[in-house]
Amino acid sequence: MKTVLITGCSSGYGLETARRFLAQGWNVIATMRTPRADILPSSDRLRVLPLDVTSPESIAAALAQAGPIDVLVNNAGIGAIGALEATPMAKTRQLFETNTFGVIAMTQAVVPQFRKRKSGVIVNVTSSVTLAPMPLASVYTASKMAIEGFTASLEHELRAFNVSVKLVEPGYGPTTRFAQNTEIRLEDVIPEPYAAFAQPILAAFAQPQLVTTEADVAEAVWRAANDESGQLRFAAGADAVALAE
């Protein structure tokens, strides 16, 4: 029976992905900054562990408790929208600490066991902003684009050890807690000179033609984790699939 460790399982994509792997009979280690076992099905194949991907000590402690794993899903992330000139550098650094450095740190911590065992899969969840430019998301896009390059390069590096590295690229999911995870007010990040430019964009966000669901992402992560074709990128959701074509 295989074991998957998933980061960012308190809501959204991570929570649904944990449910999907449990339903498929896997051992699941669901991690989150504040552990809550009640949001997942009761199972003797489930462990919920505390993890802050921005803390080396937290990463080491979680992996020590987890023991050997077969798949790492780097899902934890935070969002941000707004004009660049209104985005504080502290917010930019926060985004990169979680979305970029957190993914790299988790991956670096897990690679030795995969390399020695000559098996394992790393799935990095990015975003469809890496597939097509999206306005008012420059810093968020940069944090995710960095992981696209990181993953593509690492895939070559680890292939010799029979370790797979994959990308899952979710589209726009208004039903997720992405907006809540931005921790900002729109009026703070869209100054008056940008208001006319931003208005139709925000209106389109409010009424998207195509959307991505949590189930779409869980399915894409599941396919990526079990893929044997060598495919690197897995678009998740109808809008992301359309952009990837």
Does the annotation mark 172 as catalytic? no
Q: Are 17 and 217 in contact (CB under 8 A)?
A: yes
Q: Are 165 and 155 in contact (CB under 8 A)?
A: yes
According to DSSP H, which parts of 70-194 are helical?
89-96, 102-117, 138-159, 186-189
Helix, strand, or coil here: 230? Answer: coil
How far apart are alpha carbons 102 and 55 in whole angstroms? 8
Choose, from 13, 140, 172, 194, the residue flagged as catalytic: 140
The whole-angstrom distance between residue 200's C-alpha and the CA centroid of its chain comes to: 28
Backbone angles phi, psi at 71, to 5 degrees: -140, 135
**Residues with catalytic function:** 140
